[in-house]
Amino acid sequence: MALITETYLRAQLIKGLANPFPVTEGDKLTPAAADFLKERGIPLLRVAPVPSGPSSMQFIPVGVSNRHVHLAPDHIEALFGKGYKLTPLRELSQKGQFAARETVTLKGPHGSLSNVRILGPSRGVTQVEISRTDGFELGVHPPIRLSGDLAGTPGITLVGTVGTVVLSQGLIIAKNHVHASPDEAQSMRLNHGDHILLQAMGERPLIFADVIVRVSPKYSLDFHIDRDEANAAHVSTGDTVQIIHKNAEGRLR
């Protein structure tokens, strides 16, 4: 329950005002606040209250992932040569992760994509993450999966500077998710495994209706989406999305 004033809404304008504007049972708008929204053609969206109580606004920064590859150590050697080590180009938002200077070409049944970034360090299993748009280019249509969930996924061919790796599986479209450290999760009253609704607040008001929260000391607060999702929501890395609803895992309220 909150009193929503025009002053409050004007302050939100800097971050981007949610459209429609989410309100929970018992929220009150001042007449000036109601006019403020009405003038901008912004309707109200009644949502169930966030379990933690007051409808405090909670924002999560967006991290947009372009197509990329995680490589197993033996695949690094197969693509770039015996004993080869990846060269970090820049750090990523998740601690210890980096974009490598090295890239590969992906070859699919219908086409190929060159300069596909490798992310380091190496992993146990090679995994290739593309967008659905990329899939049409390559001629292969992988399922939406969380990282590491590779059973039954299609393969793809990777071409490096000295060799080629033909994967029999490991190609996915990444399922969007929120990363948070335990401290960040606690301060936002989020738990590992929560399903939340996130609203983009730009020119294209889009609600991501089933986003899984993953909490680990390795993580930093970030909403991971791919280029298709970023373009559909007209957001870029560093923009924020707003939590408009939370559900405990598997629990119906």
Sequence-ordered alpha helix ranges (H) in 48-155: 73-80, 132-138
For the range 115-120, what are the long-range contacts, defined as Cβ-Cβ under 8 Å and sequence gap of 24 or more?
116/67, 116/68, 116/69, 117/66, 117/67, 117/68, 117/69, 118/68, 118/69, 118/70, 118/71, 118/86, 119/68, 119/69, 119/70, 119/92, 120/86, 120/88
Identity of the residue, 82 or 251, whose beta carbon is nearer to a second copy in the bound complex: 251
Identity of the residue, 48 or 125, whose beta carbon is nearer to a second copy in the bound complex: 48
Stretch that binds a second copy, among 38-46, 71-79, 113-121, 146-154 (CB under 8 A): 38-46
Minimum distance, C-beta of residue 212 to a second copy, in the bound complex (Å): 10
Angstrom distance (rounded) from CA 237 to CA 235: 7
Look at residues 54, 47, 46 and name the one whose alpha carbon lies nearest to residue 8: 54
Identity of the residue, 85 or 195, whose beta carbon is nearer to a second copy in the bound complex: 195
∠ CA 212-214-215 to the nearest 5 degrees?
Answer: 150
Residue 37 binding a second copy, by CB under 8 A: yes
Minimum distance, C-beta of residue 86 to a second copy, in the bound complex (Å): 26
Residue 208 binding a second copy, by CB under 8 A: yes
Residue 144 binding a second copy, by CB under 8 A: yes
182 sits in which H/E element: helix 182-187
Residue 197 binding a second copy, by CB under 8 A: yes
Residue 234 binding a second copy, by CB under 8 A: yes
Local structure of 97: helix, strand or coil: coil
Stretch that binds a second copy, among 97-105, 113-121, 159-167, 242-250 (CB under 8 A): 242-250
User: Looking at 10, 15, 28, 46, which residue binds a second copy (CB under 8 A)?
Assistant: 46
Minimum distance, C-beta of residue 87 to a second copy, in the bound complex (Å): 26
Q: Is the Cα torsion angle 190, 128, 131, 61 positive or negative in sign?
A: positive
Residues that bind a second copy (CB under 8 A): 19-20, 29, 34, 37-38, 41, 43-48, 131-133, 143-144, 176, 195, 197, 199, 203-210, 227-229, 231-234, 245, 247, 249-253
